[in-house]
Structure 1
Amino acid sequence: MIYTYALFKSNIFETATIARHVVFDNISEAILVLDQENKIIDMNNIAEKIFNIKSKLAIGQDVCTEFKEYQEIIKYIYEEKETSFNCEIKIKNKLYYFKGKLTLINNNRGKGKVIVLSDNTEQVLMIKKLEYYGITDVLTGVYNRKYFYKIAKEKIEACSDKKHMSLLMMDIDKFKIINDTYGHPTGDIVLKKVMNICKELLGKKYYIGRYGGEEFLILLDNANSEKALEIGETIRRRIENLEILHDNKCIKITSSFGIFTSVRERDLENMIKFADKALYEAKSLGRNRVSIKMGNS
């Protein structure tokens, strides 16, 4: 991008015609050259390829018309100032991430703009992938324990004293027997399917984290005891009706739930402790049930 900037600032294309073919069209960045009225003067091969626009048809046209689908780029052209930017745009249903630089040209040949777009998609996707692995339990697709604690503490602290906050702890009943009988790969399938049910039912409104092994935590933001019980029972029934095939045999599983709900308790560790007690109660009463403990209101 620095090299391209230098080429235009030094007017090298005016003194070396060969550069137009050897350099301009072979630069790895997409380049758009505009006049002072934002009409396209030129664009290189990379720009043609990325945006699927033929330069022969685009030259002389208003860039805001030709690139009307890409407002993330157009908005910087309207600002009429030199700037560097990052943008995310969709081209033919594929998402691209670009580093961009807009340079103003003002010389004896006239005024204009040069937009240089460097495709940063691979690097951005790699960063997003690393971020995903940093916060996610890879097996089940829910938050890992560390990140769940972080986001749960933030939500709890931000919740007003007048709102209910509930924490649900769930456990797959006799999961060790499943692993011992059918093997750990089948156990992994069970965990995935159970979490798929939870994600489907809860959507993005609530937060799910893997506490450890076959135990999971669900933060029910602004949910009172009735709502928390309803959610717990809904998930429990769906898991109870789940059928998992293994070697032509149907595996049936159940789950137990402990819920703690309060309008005053704002310590996550305490909430986990009370939810764990409620879960122990559900197990001691025969499993495949939901138990709840209420905090002081």
Structure 2
Amino acid sequence: MSEEYFYLADETVTAAEDYSQKCATRLDQIDKVLIFVIALVILMMIKESVSAVVLMKKNRELNKKAYIDLHTGLPNRSRVEELNAHYDHFDEPTAIIVFDLNDLKVVNDSLGHLAGDTLIMNFAHIIRTSIPEKYFVGRYGGDEFIALLNDVTQQDVEDIILQVQNEARCYNEFSKQIFIDFAFGYALSTHSRETNLKLLLNQADKNMYECKARMKAKKKSH
């Protein structure tokens, strides 16, 4: 009986050990599967996060391009129109200067559109480098550019225009074929009690066309 008892006990212990080993093996397999699943989920989350960051970056780039004139690198008319919505009043003296190239059509017709494009790019460069970086400079369309100046006096505005004229004069001294000639007009918020950016821009544009008319009349008289 004792031998039979010990034999059964030994068999029971062996069976228990085998079962425990099988359970341990299964648990180990389950742990490996869980680790794999968790790692896969983490990788998917990282991938989604990277995709989201890339998408946000692309969206920012697209939004930026939507407001940039690709020809000159300056903000475009859409950006100017957006500014109109923000400046429904002025908390500080503000000015708008409108610049308009003269004889662009003559350059296009006589030297070709490539020369006209070069003229526009060079004029854009002169305006942007002549006007302090803190002020907005944009291409309003075609051969027309604008500068938005905050916290300025009339003398400040006239000094900036003079700087642009001087830079254009220096350019013309070295240019052999393509010369820069432009009209300008400006308007100050301090000249009107009730105004906004759109009205200011309209007034500056009107003053620019008056300047252009005077320049044409002067050329005819000579």
TM-score by length of structure 1 reads 0.53
- Partner residue in 2 for 1:33: none
* 2:134 aligned residue: 205
Output one character per residue of 1:273-297: Cα deviation in whole Å (capped at 9) or x when no partner.
321232123223327xxxxxxxxxx
In the alignment, structure 1 segments of 5+ residues that lack a partner are 1-11, 31-45, 47-97, 100-117, 288-297
CA distance in 2, matches of 1:176, 1:244: 22
Partner of 1:259: 186
Q: Select which of 27, 47, 70 maps to 2:43.
A: 27
1:146 aligns with 2:75: no
Q: Tell me, in whole angstroms, the C-alpha distance in 2 between the residues paired with 1:227 and 1:156.
A: 23
**Larger RCO, structure (CA 8 Å, separation 6 or more):** 2
Q: Which has the larger radius of gyration?
A: 2
Q: CA deviation at 1:200?
A: 2.4
Question: 1:170–1:217: 8 Å Cα contact kept in structure 2?
Answer: yes
Change (3 A) 1:127 1:243: farther
Which structure's residues are more often helix, by fraction? 2
Query: What does 1:2-151 correspond to in 2, within 5 Å?
Result: 15-16=31-32, 19=35, 23=39, 27=43, 99=49, 118=50, 120-151=52-83
1:176 counterpart = 2:105: yes
**Contact 2:87–2:197 (CA under 8 A) maintained in structure 1:** no
Matches within 5 A, 1:181-196: 181-196=110-125
The 8 Å contact of residues 130 and 167 in structure 2, kept in 1 or not, is answered as: no
CA distance in 1, matches of 2:84, 2:173: 32
Provide the C-alpha distance between the structure 1 equivalents of 2:43 and 2:198, rounded to a whole number of angstroms: 56
- SS state of the match for residue 130, structure 2? helix
Secondary structure of 2:87 counterpart: helix
User: How far apart are residue 231 of structure 1 and its match?
Assistant: 0.9
C-alpha distance 17-208 of structure 1, shift in aligned 2 (>3 A): same
Superposed CA deviations along residues 116-170 of structure 1, whole A, max 9, x for unmatched, are xx3545323321221012222222222222321221441352x22xx32211110
Alignment TM-score, normalising by the size of structure 2: 0.69
Cα deviations across residues 208-255 of structure 1 (Å, max 9, x unaligned)? 232221011211122221111111111122123225999xx5422122
Q: Cα deviation per residue 1:96-134 (whole Å; 9 max; x = unaligned)?
A: xx94xxxxxxxxxxxxxxxxxx35453233212210122
RMSD (CA atoms): 3.4
Secondary structure of 1:123's aligned partner = helix
Indicate how the Cα distance of structure 1 residues 29 and 226 shifts in structure 2: closer, same or farther if over 3 A, else same.
same
Contact preservation (8 Å) 2:67, 2:78: yes
Which one is further off, 275-284 or 227-236?
275-284
Q: 1:13 to 1:123 in 2, by over 3 A?
A: farther
Percent of aligned pairs with the same residue? 23
Report whether the alignment pairs 1:218 with 2:147.
yes
